[in-house]
Structure 1
């Protein structure tokens, strides 16, 4: 009896042996569909629709400004405090939404995960893209306010703002992959992430200046504080949007670019660790869901 001809399987990929986040680039069409779906369904059935992207940050700014600026008097200690406050809020909001949504992305898409094979990294990355789209209206408001305040940034400061966005997207993606994969098995990971997001808001110089922290902490602990990628991103946004609207006497952190370079390294390490943990656990996703 003759042996059957061997079948060429070189064009097929065994599930679970892909290239991780790099496979997302091969599924760009599906990524666009997921992002489009997330954007269209976010305010589905809402009377205000996309207006909520403006109303929510405006309400958040108003509350913080009244409490921290008026009641606690920080508007007298920080020049152009409204611009300072809002330029920090938009950065933290981007991190909170991207990281929080990415953590829940696998669980929220359990139907697709259990039925078909596709790079699971698509889901957290799509949620990070969706958060970035929702960040754009807030950035538009910030730019409009800065222009009204006489904003004239340099190219270096604008490059710093772009770097800040990259830092936030990288760290949010890495942490989203890490906690998103753990959350499939241990749902209380979402509660831990909520605590992290709460700390991210209050441990970054958004409601206060970095000098207040510097005056209270020993030098080595202050250096660790400044190495937080979210803190570095906030200060880059302050440098790009707030500082050009001041008289020029406002203080900025020393070695901000070195701090930002360290933040990029930390964000990349978080992305690599998140990807490794994600790949280690994704084989159990369908079973645990």
Structure 2
């Protein structure tokens, strides 16, 4: 009998791509959910959902911010015979004062978690801290290459988590039965200020990178001067707010609980990213704001 594939939405992203690779290394059938895959999957085009879900047994959901799409997607997945959902959510979803619950990302994760918990399927929720890979693959990379990271994060620290660990937990939840009904809070093994983080990158690369702490007002003014709409700049500043308010420095035990080992360190991430040439190329994008709450992650 042919084994049913596992669908990974966001299958070419920082976490989804790693999950696809891990499932493939296990010899498990995996379907990449992306606009460039076959069958094509596009969160905003519901006509693509059925083909992506056809014959699928389990789904890893990397949600799409901007519209509340997780709930109808989970409902359709259930109708088509999916039995297990693993959801990538974000740190602080249930923490008062962490983030604006009415923000785009906040509403996406709050509604998404509620949908998954009450869908009647097997489920696991993964809530990572800020992604370490934001510095090498995400919205902070160009600032690293430019040599200056300017954010309204003050002297707050964050317990950056390696996307390799996030993907490893997600895959475990997809293929093992012991994670059903669990909510895993994920972080790295220690908290670093942004100054600490860029100093680690500087030490590994020989590239001079410094962190400049701005007030939220200064940050928004700079972003607006660079052409960003004020509302987007304010959302960006708000997303960094939990670090400034020291709400991201705590350590979480989800990696240990799910995998039985310690999480990967930020220093190890930097060493491997530097060895792979992550900071040797020209900037690939403008200093775009994070596109989702991951939290947190901004994955």
TM-score by length of 1: 0.27
* Structure with greater strand percent: 2
* Structure with greater helix percent: 1
TM-score by length of 2: 0.26
Q: Which has the larger radius of gyration?
A: 1
